[in-house]
Amino acid sequence: MSSHVRWLILIIVLTLFCIWVVLPETQGIHLDTDGDGKDDISLNVQQSLGLDLVGGLRVLLQSQLPPGSFSPEDLRTTANNVERRVNALGVGEATVQVQGNHRILVELPGVRDPQQAIETIQRTALLEFVDFSGLAGQAQQLVGQKILTTEQVLIQQQRQSPTAETTPEATAGAEPTAEATASAGDTSQIPTESQPLLNPATGQPFQTVMTGSGLQAAAARLSQGGRWEIQFELTPEGGKIFGPFTGARIGQPLAIVLDGVVLSAPTIEAQLDTGGVITGQFTEEEAKTLALQLRSGALPIPLEVISSETVGATLGQQSVNLSIRAGVIGVMIILAFMTINYRVPGIAASLGLLVFVLLNMAIFKFIPVTLTLPAIVGFLISIGSAVDGNILIFERMREELRAGKDVEAAVREGFSRAWNSIRDSNISTILISAVLFLFGQTPGASIVSGFAVTLALGLTLNLFTAIIVTRTFLHVLLTFLKRPAENRRWLMGV
């Protein structure tokens, strides 16, 4: 009995914690332990709702290049990079799908700052490390200026000749071709707001050493001097290019260029084989946005916003309220059925089912899981699976009781013999949910991921509640009702 008491205490504590998390006014834990005005312990807890429940932003993007100048694969890659940026913004269940041969539709549920989201999605984020050797006296004067690089020229040539096999990433660190330098003077074809500057020493485009494709990771951080900067790590291929270059030019300036604009021109102080720091006059928001864009990759195709609109919840508040009411009524009917049909075990199962619902709702808010209509359906299906597990256990108990075994033995056999069936059925469905989740990673199919996540979470929790929680409640009830249950088998549902 001591083990059941320990489990009961743990279940009560866990239930109370879940109730606190589920409460609408709960936003998390924020503690300032040293009184400096900053939260030393911060834990955000908030419910994330999908576009069909809470509304959001719908953005239609179109390629700035004419159809036919890029391949369908380029458009799919651009859509994938847009989705990675959206997910990194903290927008759950975003829908990103290709429309036609030159448009991308993005739906962002619950977006608070539409303008920031649009700018983050739209920006091409072509990062270049540019050779400023021999410009020590002029390097800082070029900070904030738009310059022309060999990489920009090669990208423009590729867009004008879509059959070319050379990719922008493959040209990182390469010497400029004859065609690139010959066309350097014609900057009218480069899509910029002003004419970019050429290298004053040569009159040619600045030499690109490496592009952002050589980065493995990027994160914004606050330097010791109180300025925001981006720390980056190189891929092995990027290190092979960047390491020898920086090692041979210690003491010379190196420009960090984003979309043609010089962010900073620091002096190379050591050979950088694995990574370094991008400095500049960044605010916190600018540093985090830039790090996000670098992590998610540059957009192969420049995009422009054709239309953007704020949309309301497609279900409507009244429909949402009716859906919640239907779910509550359904759970109450299930609890009544279990109690009437199985009596004492049914009461234990009903308590276990309530704990199951609280655990799921708390996890949805704690992770958070974005709740859309498909995600709610996955949760409701998992409730049905939880009830099925209890029915398997109690029907096995009935068989043991009818065979003449006492209550304690029947309970033990019911749980032990039903466990294999519950485990195998739940695991098989969890594997199916994993396959659905993988298919849901395709742009435009993210709602499938929401269904798979809530279903898999519910089935996993069912393995705990059906065997541990329900058994603990049943043993506690039988502690007080064992003798009546032995004498009146109908209390056990027989």
pLDDT confidence band for 173 (50 / 70 / 90) = very low
Distance CA 294, CA 213 (A): 9
Q: How are beta strands 127-131 and 208-211 bridged, if at all? A: antiparallel
pLDDT at res. 171: 39
Query: Computed from CA positions of residues 350, 363, 44, 90, in that sequence, does the dihedral angle turn out positive or negative?
Result: negative
Give the pTM. 0.58
What pLDDT digit, counting tens, does each position of 386-406 carry?
Answer: 899 999 999 999 999 999 899
pLDDT confidence band for 111 (50 / 70 / 90) = confident
Buried b (16+ CB within 10 A) or exposed e, 180-208: bbebbeebeebeeeeebbbbeeeebbbbb
Are 356 and 383 within 8 A, CB to CB? Answer: yes
Q: Which CATH superfamily hosts domain 2-22+315-492?
A: Multidrug efflux transporter AcrB transmembrane domain (1.20.1640.10)
pLDDT at res. 192: 42
Are 348 and 474 within 8 A, CB to CB? Answer: yes
- Domains 2-22+315-492 and 127-298 are alike in CATH topology: no
pLDDT at res. 315: 64
pLDDT confidence band for 167 (50 / 70 / 90) = very low
CATH class of 127-298: alpha beta
What does the pLDDT average to over 97-121? 79
What pLDDT digit, counting tens, does each position of 65-77 carry?
Answer: 888 778 888 888 8
The closest alpha carbon to 397, from 298, 256, 270, 493, belongs to 493
CATH class of 56-122: alpha beta
Query: In what order do the strands lie in the sheet containing 254-258?
Result: 208-211, 127-131, 254-258, 261-264
**Residues in Cβ contact with 308 at an 8 Å cutoff, skipping those fewer than 6 apart:** 57, 58, 59, 60, 114, 118
Distance CA 328, CA 334 (A): 10
Distance CA 37, CA 266 (A): 34
How far lies 245's CA from each of 122, 140, 257, 484, in Å? 32, 20, 17, 85
List alpha helices for 195-312, DSSP H. Answer: 236-248, 284-296
* pLDDT above 90 (res 346): yes
What pLDDT digit, counting tens, does each position of 434-452 carry?
Answer: 999 888 766 556 678 889 9
What pLDDT digit, counting tens, does each position of 312-339 carry?
Answer: 666 666 767 777 788 889 889 999 999 9
**115 C-beta neighbours (distance < 10 Å), count:** 10
Distance of CA 88 to the CA centre of its chain: 6
What does the pLDDT average to over 261-266? 84
* pLDDT above 70 (res 181): no
**Residues in Cβ contact with 147 at an 8 Å cutoff, skipping those fewer than 6 apart:** 130, 196, 197, 198, 206, 255, 257, 260, 261, 262
Length of the chain in terms of residues written = 494
Give the residue, 409 or 280, on which the prediction is more confident: 409
Distance of CA 19 to the CA centre of its chain: 26
pLDDT confidence band for 90 (50 / 70 / 90) = low
pLDDT at res. 177: 37
What pLDDT digit, counting tens, does each position of 211-249 carry?
Answer: 877 888 888 888 888 888 888 888 888 889 999 999 998
Q: Please state, rounded to an integer, the average pLDDT across all residues of the chain.
A: 80
Domain boundaries, the chain: 2-22+315-492, 56-122, 127-298
Q: For 54-119, give the DSSP string.
A: H-EEEEEEEESSPTTSS-HHHHHHHHHHHHHHHHHTT-TT-EEEEETTTEEEEEEET-S-HHHHHH
pLDDT at res. 212: 78
What pLDDT digit, counting tens, does each position of 283-292 carry?
Answer: 888 788 777 7
Tokens representing 353 are 């089912």
Are 291 and 84 within 8 A, CB to CB? Answer: no
Distance CA 372, CA 409 (A): 44
